[in-house]
């Protein structure tokens, strides 16, 4: 049974990551207020009220706005991004090791440059059959990537109820999981499109095991 799982806030502690990430900017004279104002203050793709973040574009904005040394900031950001493994939650590897690589798909919305670096450096790429970073709806990517997905039962795990809704509407037979971690940034309410609400991947793994029997 194929399992499609989101990255940010599903297997990656994005809240803790962002706090440390902002700290890199602060060392270069960028206040939290200036970081927030420039975070997505440039043209970006928006889907389902979610816009892509690109640190390279943000640095360009800050160079013009504050006169910072962009090359030095970019160097320190790359150094910071080399250690993203520390932001993978403790339940992730046991969950991934329970299933076959051919059945695991990582699917995340965002900027390809930034997301791929985060994913590559956190050491989980080897557990997935495919890693998809997209600016399209996840339901569209699932339809494109998985053979016979319209006929098979599959699992979709995400922390956003609207993403789950779009997938469930397109594939009513799939099993949807809303993961609500205590450290997550969002607190979406369970809807009729959510089959299971879980606090972590340990809970999700047990339910998936029962479904697969």
**What DSSP letter does each residue of 55-109 carry, written as one string?**
HHHHHHHHHHHH---HHHHHHHHHHHHTTGGGGB-TTHHHHHHTS-GGGEEEEEE
3-state SS class at 123: coil
* Amino acid 22: pLDDT: 96
* Amino acid 136: pLDDT: 81
Distance, CA of 8 to CA of 128 (rounded, Å): 16
CB 77 within 8 A of CB 30: no
* Amino acid 165: pLDDT: 94
* Amino acid 172: pLDDT: 92
* Amino acid 41: pLDDT: 81
Q: φ and ψ at 156, to 5 degrees?
A: -130, 125
Give pLDDT < 70 ranges for the chain.
43-51, 146-151
Q: Determine the longest span between alpha carbons in the chain, in angstroms.
A: 60
* Amino acid 149: pLDDT: 60
Listed in sequence order, the DSSP H helices in the chain are 14-26, 32-38, 55-66, 70-81, 92-97, 112-121, 138-145, 161-170, 201-212
3-state SS class at 134: strand
Buried b (16+ CB within 10 A) or exposed e, 83-98: ebeebbbebbeebbee
* Amino acid 151: pLDDT: 66
Neighbouring CB atoms inside 10 A of 61's CB total 17
């Amino acid at each position: 049974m194929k399992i499609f799982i989101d990255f940010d806030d599903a297997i990656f502690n994005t809240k803790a990551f962002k706090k440390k990430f902002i700290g890199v900017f602060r060392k270069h004279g960028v206040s939290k207020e200036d970081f927030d104002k420039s975070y997505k203050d440039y043209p970006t793709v928006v889907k389902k009220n979610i816009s892509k973040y690109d640190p390279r574009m943000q640095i360009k904005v800050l160079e013009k706005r504050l006169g910072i040394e962009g090359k030095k900031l970019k160097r320190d950001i790359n150094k910071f991004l080399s250690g993203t493994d520390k932001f993978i939650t403790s339940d992730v590897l046991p969950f991934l090791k329970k299933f076959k690589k051919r059945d695991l798909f990582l699917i995340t919305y965002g900027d390809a440059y930034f997301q791929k670096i985060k994913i590559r450096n956190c050491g989980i790429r080897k557990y997935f059959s495919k890693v998809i970073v997209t600016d399209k709806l996840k339901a569209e990517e699932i339809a494109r990537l998985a053979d016979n997905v319209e006929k098979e039962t599959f699992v979709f795990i995400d922390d956003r109820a609207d993403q789950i809704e779009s997938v469930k509407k397109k594939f009513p037979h799939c099993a949807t999981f809303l993961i609500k971690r205590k450290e997550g940034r969002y607190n979406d309410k369970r809807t009729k499109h959510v089959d299971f609400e879980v606090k972590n991947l340990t809970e999700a793994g047990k339910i998936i095991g029962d479904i697969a029997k």
